[in-house]
């Protein structure tokens, strides 16, 4: 690791950047008020602890600008088993999360066009297009992304990542670790878990070589413990919505889930969610709902539509509809109980084989049915995401079953998580309005 890079990192990030960001957070927390265009007539003010979400993510991307040459850098898929890398001191970048950020900042289209211009099809996942476009053009709303020294691709979310990460491996000429997770139809078989465990064990040697140091098992256990704690807190935050009115809408969860995805295994992430849970419990105590006039409660299935969060959240809130549960945000909490600090590698194998996208469509239906009952829901919005086929497959049947078997209104909404070309305001509003009228 270079001296020049270290000095720059210490000076620009640690000394100036980080201090300024922290100071800013302190100020915003103290003088907290909702943004000017916040619809206080229909929505509760944003969570005060949300200023820390912003801080954590801003610091993360700022560190990324100066981190090459200081820490080893890994690019990983969203459901990747990162605990080993974390224990080895890697800086971890999630291109999917960066894609979501580009979507929310409404620059995903411009960046994915950079990939399309070079021949990548419009039918490829918009996260992949955004990442490849950003890699090739260096365009990003966060200033600069660090170059990877290692790539970690886990197939527990989709097969696209396999091809996407091969493109990255060829472009950056760095090692690629693939963790292949067999599909779980009902329950994972022991030899499937063994197979994943062996791959995790094999990945240690490559990761150690790139990091230039050996893995400490006590450090790994500590990371698994922190990962588990944060995920448990996140689960508790989501379950708080069983209260009526629901204290935190799913649209808020979409924003505040960033640390559980990107900063899992850090102690500050645990502190952050613990603070957030306190604020949410206060809301429950005072009967504050995320949507002021909560008349109807619904669930959201599939990824968010990042560039339309405000639009959708406000439209639904205007109609007294609160989105209180989602299969997507749930995915980062539901597996927490599987993590076992005493058997880190084996429990990682088990945890990372079970994400919702690596399981049969019947499992997702069951998850939604349980949500309908436990969160006392009136309806379900199923976002049919053009970019995420594994998440969208089965939704036609799931929708009919929710309707016929549980008697809740269910709407299939066609869009894309970050490509705005797949979204038509008028069409979406006319469907959502009819959906609301159906629940009345």
Partner 1 sequence: METVKSIGIDAGSTTLKIVGVNEEGKILFTIVEDADPKVEEQTESILNKLKENYDIESSKIVATGYGSNLIKADKKITEITCHAKGIYEHFKSGGTAVDIGGQDNKVILISKGGKVIDFIMNDKCASGTGRFLENTAWRLKIPTEKMAELALNSDGEVKISSTCAVFAESEVISHLSRGEKLEHVIKGLHRAMVKRITSMIYAIGFNPPLMLSGGVAKNKAVVKMLEEELGEKPLIPENPQIMGAFGAALLGLSK
Q: How far is the CB of 373 from partner 1 (least distance, A)?
A: 20
| 301 in Cβ contact with 392 (< 8 Å) | no
Interface contacts to partner 1, rule CB under 8 A:
384, 396, 400, 403, 409-410, 412, 414, 422, 424, 426-427, 430-431, 433-434, 437-438
CB nearer to partner 1: pick between 196 and 410? 410
CB nearer to partner 1: pick between 206 and 438? 438
Q: How far is the CB of 424 from partner 1 (least distance, A)?
A: 7
| 349 in Cβ contact with 200 (< 8 Å) | yes
Query: Count H helices, E strands: the chain?
Result: 20, 8
Instruction: Report the SS3 class of residue 149.
Output: coil
437, β-bridge pairs: none
Tell me 300's DSSP state: E
CB nearer to partner 1: pick between 54 and 295? 295
CB nearer to partner 1: pick between 19 and 361? 361
Closest CA to 367 of 408, 325, 409: 325
Instruction: Report the SS3 class of residue 21.
Output: helix
Q: How far is the CB of 302 from partner 1 (least distance, A)?
A: 14
Cα 127 to Cα 410: distance, rounded to the nearest angstrom: 27
CB nearer to partner 1: pick between 262 and 301? 301
| 328 in Cβ contact with 304 (< 8 Å) | yes
Q: How far is the CB of 305 from partner 1 (least distance, A)?
A: 14
217 burial (CB, 10 Å; 0-12 / 13-18 / 19+) is exposed
Q: How far is the CB of 398 from partner 1 (least distance, A)?
A: 13
Q: How far is the CB of 122 from partner 1 (least distance, A)?
A: 13
- Close Cβ partners of 370 (under 8 Å, ≥ 6 residues apart): none
CB nearer to partner 1: pick between 216 and 427? 427
């Amino acid at each position: 690791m270079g001296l020049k890079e270290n000095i720059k990192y210490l000076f620009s990030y640690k000394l100036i950047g980080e201090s300024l960001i922290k100071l800013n957070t302190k100020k915003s927390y103290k003088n907290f008020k909702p943004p000017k265009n916040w619809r206080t007539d229909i929505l509760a003010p944003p969570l005060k602890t949300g200023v820390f979400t912003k801080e954590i993510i801003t610091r993360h991307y700022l560190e990324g600008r100066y981190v090459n040459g200081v820490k080893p850098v890994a690019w990983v898929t969203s459901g990747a088993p990162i605990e080993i890398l974390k224990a080895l001191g890697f800086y971890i970048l999630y291109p999917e999360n960066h894609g979501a950020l580009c979507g929310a900042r409404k620059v995903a289209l411009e960046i994915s066009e950079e990939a399309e211009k070079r021949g990548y099809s419009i039918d490829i996942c918009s996260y992949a297009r955004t990442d490849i476009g950003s890699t090739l053009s260096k365009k990003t709303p966060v200033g600069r992304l660090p170059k990877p020294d290692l790539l970690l691709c886990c197939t527990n979310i989709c097969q696209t990542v396999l091809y996407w990460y091969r493109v990255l491996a060829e472009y950056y000429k760095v090692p690629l670790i693939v963790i292949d997770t067999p599909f779980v139809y009902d329950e994972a078989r022991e030899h499937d878990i063994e197979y994943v465990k062996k791959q995790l064990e094999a990945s240690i040697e490559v990761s150690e070589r790139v990091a230039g140091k050996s893995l400490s098992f006590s450090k790994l256990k500590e990371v698994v413990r922190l990962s588990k704690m944060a995920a448990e807190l996140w689960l508790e935050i989501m379950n708080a919505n069983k209260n009526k009115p629901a204290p935190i809408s799913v649209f808020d969860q979409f924003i505040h889930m960033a640390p559980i995805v990107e900063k899992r295994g850090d102690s500050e992430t645990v502190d952050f969610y613990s603070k957030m849970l306190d604020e949410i419990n206060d809301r429950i105590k005072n009967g504050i709902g995320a949507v002021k006039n909560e008349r109807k409660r619904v669930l959201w299935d599939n990824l968010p539509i990042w560039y339309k969060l405000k639009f959708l959240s406000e439209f639904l809130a205007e109609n007294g509809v609160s989105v209180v549960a989602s299969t997507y945000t749930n995915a980062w909490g539901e597996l927490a109980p599987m993590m076992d600090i005493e058997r880190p590698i084996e429990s990682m194998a088990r945890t990372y084989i079970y994400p919702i996208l690596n399981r049969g469509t019947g499992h997702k239906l069951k998850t939604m049915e349980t949500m309908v009952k436990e969160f006392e829901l009136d309806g379900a919005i199923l976002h049919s995401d053009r970019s995420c086929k594994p998440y969208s497959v089965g939704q036609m049947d799931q929708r009919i079953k929710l309707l016929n078997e549980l008697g809740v209104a269910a709407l299939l909404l066609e869009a894309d998580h970050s490509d705005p070309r797949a979204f038509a305001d008028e069409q979406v509003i006319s469907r959502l309005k009819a959906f609301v009228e159906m629940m009345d």
